[in-house]
């Protein structure tokens, strides 16, 4: 829902009724992940996507029906048959979609959820979607509080504990519990939609390549920080659209900023006096990805310097250097694509090879 938050907030402000369709579960090669959302307004306007086009028409019709009836619906779309006009996923996957009205009467928690999303605060909503006759009960969870109820105090406590774990990692999906929150039971299926703040991309080195990497990082949804000790290069004019520009020795900034399991770090300084002190610290942080730019000769020199500084082999093994996939990139923009491709591949378990040359599933 994060991608459509601005659109549906505008509808709410204008008093426009709408329904929200959200991917709850997927199987096999489904085109969108759980949490992908699409909203349909009473005037026919649409924002977002749940399948990249495969079943959007059917979901549009269902959302229109949900708007008329006021009753939420949970539907599953599978593989389409030979008839090209039959609703289904041509990719061979299966997707389960929850469609529900977005007005205050049916979804009163939506206002707080949208406020959390737009304010960058971590927030999640849990909703029973199977095992009961109703899907109207919701539990809104933040790291330090919970509001609403799923109808049972013990169930609320059990689900809250699990939701906080999912919120910490930014995970959206379903959990199975007993009617009173029993962990070894599965009478209830609870859909948990997490809205964690965007993951961070920290780019060290205010060079032309950094400008391209920062732009593609923003495009991919990262909160982008560029850091360089040289004020001549680290200017707002050169980096106009990033979230944070820091003029400081990079390793000192790394000592005082927050790095978690979703953070990606791109070291583009290309200078041992900068990149070695950065990597001495970064390789022991829980970052998802740590890459460093340079030729293979630069890479070997960097490894020697890191070992001389006492960095362990297990820590060095986390380093992606030379940074990026082999795309034959030449320009800063092409190099940024190669770096982004490696980050995406490592995030989702892709092989990095051409799809035409392999037989693995497209969507892992």
Band (pLDDT 50/70/90 cuts) for residue 253 is very high
Q: Which of 67-81, 122-136, 193-207 has the lowest mean pLDDT?
A: 67-81
- Give the mean model confidence (pLDDT) for residues 22-39: 84
pLDDT at 169 over 60: yes
Structure tokens at 59: 């979901």
Around Cβ 325, how many Cβ atoms within 10 Å? 19
266 vs 94, which has greater pLDDT? 266
pLDDT at 264 over 80: yes
Q: Tell me: the pLDDT tens digits for 46-73?
A: 999 988 777 888 899 999 999 999 999 9
Q: Tell me: the pLDDT tens digits for 299-337?
A: 999 999 999 999 999 999 999 999 999 999 999 999 999
Q: What's the pLDDT score for residue 252?
A: 96
pLDDT at 83 over 70: no
Q: What's the pLDDT score for residue 357?
A: 83
Q: What's the pLDDT score for residue 82?
A: 45
Q: What's the pLDDT score for residue 186?
A: 87
Most confident of 30-39, 62-71, 116-125: 62-71
Q: What's the pLDDT score for residue 323?
A: 95
Structure tokens at 217: 């990082």
Cβ atoms of 340 and 309 closer than 8 Å: no
Distance between CA atoms of residues 270 and 273, nearest Å: 9
pLDDT at 77 over 80: yes
Q: What's the pLDDT score for residue 227?
A: 97
Average pLDDT, the chain: 90
Band (pLDDT 50/70/90 cuts) for residue 127 is very high
Q: Tell me: the pLDDT tens digits for 13-29?
A: 999 999 999 999 887 76
Band (pLDDT 50/70/90 cuts) for residue 362 is low
Q: 166 Cβ partners below 8 Å, 6+ apart?
A: 124, 172, 173, 175, 192, 194
Structure tokens at 66: 């949900």
């Amino acid at each position: 829902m994060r991608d459509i938050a601005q659109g549906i907030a505008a509808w709410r402000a204008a008093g426009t009724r709408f329904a929200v369709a959200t991917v709850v579960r997927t199987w096999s090669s489904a085109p969108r992940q759980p949490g992908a959302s699409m909203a349909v307004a009473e005037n026919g306007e649409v924002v977002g996507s749940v399948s990249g086009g495969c079943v959007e028409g059917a979901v549009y019709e269902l959302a229109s029906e949900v708007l008329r009836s006021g009753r939420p619906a949970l539907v599953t779309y599978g593989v389409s048959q030979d008839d090209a006009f039959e609703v289904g996923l041509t990719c061979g996957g299966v997707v389960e979609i929850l469609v529900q009205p977005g007005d205050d009467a049916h979804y009163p928690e939506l206002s707080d959820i949208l406020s959390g999303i737009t304010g960058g605060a971590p927030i999640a909503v849990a909703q029973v979607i199977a095992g009961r006759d109703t899907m109207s009960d919701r539990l809104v969870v933040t790291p330090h509080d919970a509001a609403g109820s799923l109808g049972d105090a013990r169930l609320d406590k059990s689900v809250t504990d699990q939701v906080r774990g999912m919120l910490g990692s930014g995970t959206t999906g379903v959990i199975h519990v007993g009617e009173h929150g029993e962990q070894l039971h599965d009478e209830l299926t609870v859909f948990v939609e997490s809205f964690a703040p965007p993951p961070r991309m920290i780019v060290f080195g205010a060079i032309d390549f950094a400008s391209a990497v920062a732009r593609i990082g923003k495009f991919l949804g990262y909160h982008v920080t560029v850091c360089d000790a040289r004020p001549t290069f680290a200017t707002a004019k050169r980096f106009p659209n990033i979230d944070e520009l820091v003029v400081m020795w990079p390793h000192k900034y790394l000592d005082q900023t927050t790095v978690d399991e979703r953070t990606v770090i791109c070291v583009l300084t290309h200078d041992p006096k900068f990149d070695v002190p950065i990597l001495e610290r970064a390789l022991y942080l829980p970052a998802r990805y740590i890459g460093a730019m340079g030729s293979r000769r630069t890479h070997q020199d960097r490894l020697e310097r890191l070992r001389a500084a006492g960095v362990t082999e297990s820590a060095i093994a986390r380093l992606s250097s030379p940074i990026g996939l082999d795309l034959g990139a030449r320009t800063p923009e092409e190099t940024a694509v190669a770096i982004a491709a490696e980050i995406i591949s490592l995030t989702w378990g892709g092989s990095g090879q051409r799809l035409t040359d392999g037989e693995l599933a497209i969507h892992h």
